[in-house]
Amino acid sequence: MNTQLLIDTAKKMVAQDKGLLAMDESNPTCDKRFAKLGIPQTVEARRAYRELIITTPGLGESISGVILYDETIRQQKKDGKLFLKILADSGIIPGIKVDTGAKSLAAHLGEKMTEGLDGLRERLAEYFEMGARFAKWRAVITIGDGLPSRSGLEANAHALARYATLCQEVGLVPIVEPEVVMDGDHSLETCLKVTEEVLRNVFIQLNCQRVFLEGVILKPNMVLPGLSCPPHEEVKEVGAGEQQYQVRLKDRQPDEAPDVDEVADTTVNCLLRTVPAAVPGIAFLSGGQSAALASARLNAMNVRFKSRLPWALSFSFARAIQQPALEIWRGQEANVKAAQEALLHRARCNRAARRGEYTAAMEKIGS
Ligand code: 13P
């Protein structure tokens, strides 16, 4: 294993207050997002959209690396220039999503298991040869009655660790992404308990599989209440068997969401309890938060904690960087420039958030 290459790549991924742009939606997910906006769901439309993203002037000032999908890593600009060459010219490191998706976990109603380990060693070697220097694997953890189960957590953590060692063997930095999804009516407190348990399991498995922690980037969810969390106090039980938690929701006023600082404190405390100091960087997913809230929450974490954290707190957003641009583009060539400006704006807001310099005023100026 080339540990120096892994250390260097992981450091570059979080250097200079830059972050990652996830543009690795699978074809079905990308098509679903296109369909909502009336964009044709074709190879050419997906290619044109990805061309728009990676040719955005100045993107490399805020983005250190992009996560590509198998279709995209092989594509070219209309003039024939390979996307990989364009990225190299902009100083952006190419990464690649290598899981093959989350499927229903047998005998675990409501839980998912991420697949893609079969043939992974060969696929990773090909991606490294093409120029990729990091990879991504996403595990999906759902909170619900009796969920997540211990066996579901362990199976997903084990697969993440198997993937991570295979990546490191060929020289790719693994982004380890265990996502506790926002769907559900769980509270912030429940999300905290579950996220802590997920991360503990993940690092136990990474250690068991001899993953080199200095060459890993963790991509977790922020700790947030579920999208349909009720405002009143109630006792909920989540998890099964030994892993059952009883969680009392905080007494909140109707419609009172946790404020930005509470999310920042809860998230960072969760990470401090679970993520070893050897890990160089934590790059959050956005998970369906609005673009502005994702920036504000990342900013609050860096304002309140940056000087005393062992790892960089960064971003690896898909929707929270891309969505405004996609809504402007809508498949129309005439909208490309405006969409690129919106994309660049979100990338800059998130770089500012890494420095603790993001303000709501940046949204009004739109620059
Ligand atoms: P979102 O930021 O839209 O959650 O996507 C991040 C990602 O890469 C999901 O795997």
pLDDT given for residue 233 in this prediction: 45
Residue 230's pLDDT band (cuts 50, 70, 90)? confident
pLDDT of residue 76: 98
Token pair 């958030």 in the structure block, residue = 353
Instruction: Assign 157 a pLDDT band (cuts: 50, 70, 90).
Output: very high
Contact of 43 with 71, CB cutoff 8 Å: yes
The answer to whether residue 248 scores a pLDDT higher than 90 is no
Lowest mean pLDDT segment, chosen from 209-223, 254-268, 319-333? 254-268
What do you get for the CA distance between the two ends of the chain, in Å?
43
Residues of the chain with pLDDT > 90, as a percent, come to 90
CA of 307 to the centre of ligand 1 (A): 27
- What whole-number distance in Å separates Cα of residue 322 and Cα of residue 325? 5
Angstrom distance (rounded) from CA 275 to CA 218? 9
- Mutate which of 137, 316, 346, 350 for ligand 1? The one with the most ligand atoms within 8 Å of its CB, which is 316
User: How many angstroms does the Cα of residue 82 sit away from the middle of ligand 1?
Assistant: 24
Q: Is 219 a catalytic residue?
A: yes
Entry pTM: 0.94
**12 assigned to active site:** no
* CA 67 to ligand 1: nearest atom: 8
Probe residue for ligand 1, chosen from 24, 295, 317, 346 as the CB with the greatest number of ligand atoms within 8 Å: 317
Residue indicated by tokens 């906006």: 37
pLDDT higher than threshold 70 for residue 237: no
Ligand 1 binding residues, C-beta < 6 A: 22, 138, 177, 285-287, 317-320
Supply the pLDDT for residue 229.
86
Q: Which of 177, 189, 196, 197 is catalytic?
A: 177
Calculate Rg over the CA atoms of the chain.
20
- Residue of 12, 97, 112, 219 with catalytic role: 219
Q: 242 pLDDT band (50/70/90 cuts)? A: low
Residues 91-145: tens digit of each pLDDT: 999 999 999 999 999 999 999 999 999 999 999 999 999 999 999 999 999 999 9
Q: How far is the CA of 24 from the centre of ligand 1 (A)?
A: 9
Phi, psi of 11 (to 5 degrees): -65, -45
